[in-house]
Each structure stands twice: as structure tokens, then as C-alpha cells.
Amino acid sequence: MKIRLAGIPSNVGALNTGTELGPKFFRNANLREQLEKHHQVLDLGDLEVDNVSFRHNIAPVRNWPAPKILWQKIIDQKTWFVEDELTLILGGGCSTFTGVFMNFHNQYGERAEILSIDHHIDMKIPDPEVCMGATAYTLWFLTHKNKWIQKPAQFNNAKITSMGFDKSNIDDSFPIEGIHLLDKELVLDQGPAKVAEAYHRGLDKDAKVIIHLDLDVINQADLSSVYMPSPKGLPLETVTQLLKAVCKDERIAGMVITEFSPNEAQGAVDAERVVHMICSALENR
């Protein structure tokens, strides 16, 4: 398989720093070299990101317009997504996914779908009185007409699957009707293989799927180098097997890894764990 590799060393949607180090740590953990054991890899390098300007905590979107400036830079990348190749993007914070998907949608149009593997469903409705990072609004931005971005035309909740999330993080204020919901308990009860098989059966035959893997879906005990670790996340091995089962399908055309936030003591070890997980997921393609 041909893999395009790119990085987004960004923290522009976050209150604190850390996620901008993700691409560097994954590269230092020999991600490219490990992928090249089974695949042909074209490394497109990392975007140059301004992580300093426009930092504030003014409602409703933290650091605005920095997220939008970065999204446009991502959208302008013309070589990231190519038919019959898989693109692996190293984040960066979750908020980058808004721009990545808009680029992906520009390439694949109505065939484009999202598989969000995340401890949360990032579908908050912006509140003019509350400041939150753009991460919290990611799926809402992409599915609702709004003043912050021009969302992809005709894209709606039916084109999204949320997998591995914790139901306790969701309440009636989340506009998630129509999203295909495969929660953490389902993954644990049925097992990754069955959940992935059911997911594949529900896809259109010509679909093109981009996976957004927020590393907070993994239990903090197994992976602590995450911006907001999840004590109740899925085991690392379960997520590895889930990715492995999902990525067998050739309709998976992209994957974005977000929210890796390393510290000096544990970062290198955790980066190696993530690299092993990603390479295991892709080795059978």
C-alpha cells in the first residue's frame, strides 16, 4: 500500500501546550521506518504552524481566529489525499480535524465519511457565554450551518460514525441524532472484530472514510501522554485490535492521530506504543 505521511504540530485550539509535540515524538519513535517494512511511504513533512498568536480565553471559541487560520492552511494542501492511497496525519490537537476533513471532503465529495474513535463525541453547540476549545465543536462545525466556517455542502450526521465513546459524556444537549453510535460497552461486549464487521457492512460500496483517532479513547493506565487522559477509556490492546479490524477495509482512505501530549518522563515510551498500534493496524493492507 502507498501511504502519504504528514504532520500538524499544533496546539492552536487548546488552553495549554503539548499537542504540538506529537509529530516529532512519533517520528523519533521511527514511525516512518516501521511503516516502510510493509508499505511505500511518501513523507510530506510537517506544516509550519504558528502556535503563539491569538491565544486567549474569550467565549465561545478559544484562541479564535487561530483555529480557522490553521484550517485554511490545511485545506490549501493539495497533495495530502490521493485516490487509491492512504493518508496518515500526525496531530496536533483535535481541533485540526475540522480543516483535515474539509480537505478530505474536497477530494472525495459525497463519498466522504467520518469514523470518530474517541472517548467523547465532539458535538457541543457553541455557547456565547462559555469559552471552549474548537475541539469540542468539531463535528458540530462540520454538520451545521454556522458563522465560523463554511461547512461541506450536504454533509450531515448520517455520514458520521462514533466508535468507542463513553455514554456518560453525552447528554440531551448534544445534537447527535443520525450519527451511527457504537459505544465503549458495545466494543467490549461484542469485541473489536464484530464491531468492525458491522461497521463495514453499513458503508456504501464507494465510500471513502477518514478515521479520527483521538488518543483519549485509550485508558490512561495504558497511555498517559494524552492532553486529557481518560481513566475510563478502552484498553490499548482493544483499540489496537479495533483499528486492525477496521483498517482491513480499502474504503479507509485516511487517518488522523490527535491529542498526543508527551512529557519528558513517559513521552518516548508512549510514542512507541502508539507507533506499534498504528503499524499493527495497517500491516494487513
- Residue-wise pLDDT for 132-158, tens only, equals 999 999 999 999 999 999 999 999 999
Q: What mean pLDDT value characterizes the chain?
A: 96
**pLDDT tops 80 at residue 264:** no
- Decide: residue 285, CB within 10 A, 0-12 exposed, 13-18 middle, 19+ buried: middle
pLDDT at 139: 97
pLDDT band with cut points at 50, 70 and 90 for residue 265: confident
Quick one: pLDDT at residue 25?
97
Is there a contact between 114 and 161 (Cβ–Cβ < 8 Å)?
Answer: yes
pLDDT in tens, 48-74: 999 999 999 999 999 999 999 999 999
**Closest to 139 in 3D by CA, of 85, 39, 280, 126:** 126
For the stretch 6-47, pLDDT in tens is 999 999 999 999 999 999 999 999 999 999 999 999 999 999
Stretch (H or E) spanning 182: strand 180-182
Taking residue 251's Cβ as centre, other Cβ atoms within 10 Å add up to 16
Q: What average pLDDT does range 182-197 have in this prediction?
A: 98
Spatial separation of the C-alpha atoms in residues 233 and 164, rounded to whole Å = 8
CATH number of 2-282: 3.40.800.10
For the chain, give every domain's residue range: 2-282
pLDDT score recorded for residue 284: 83
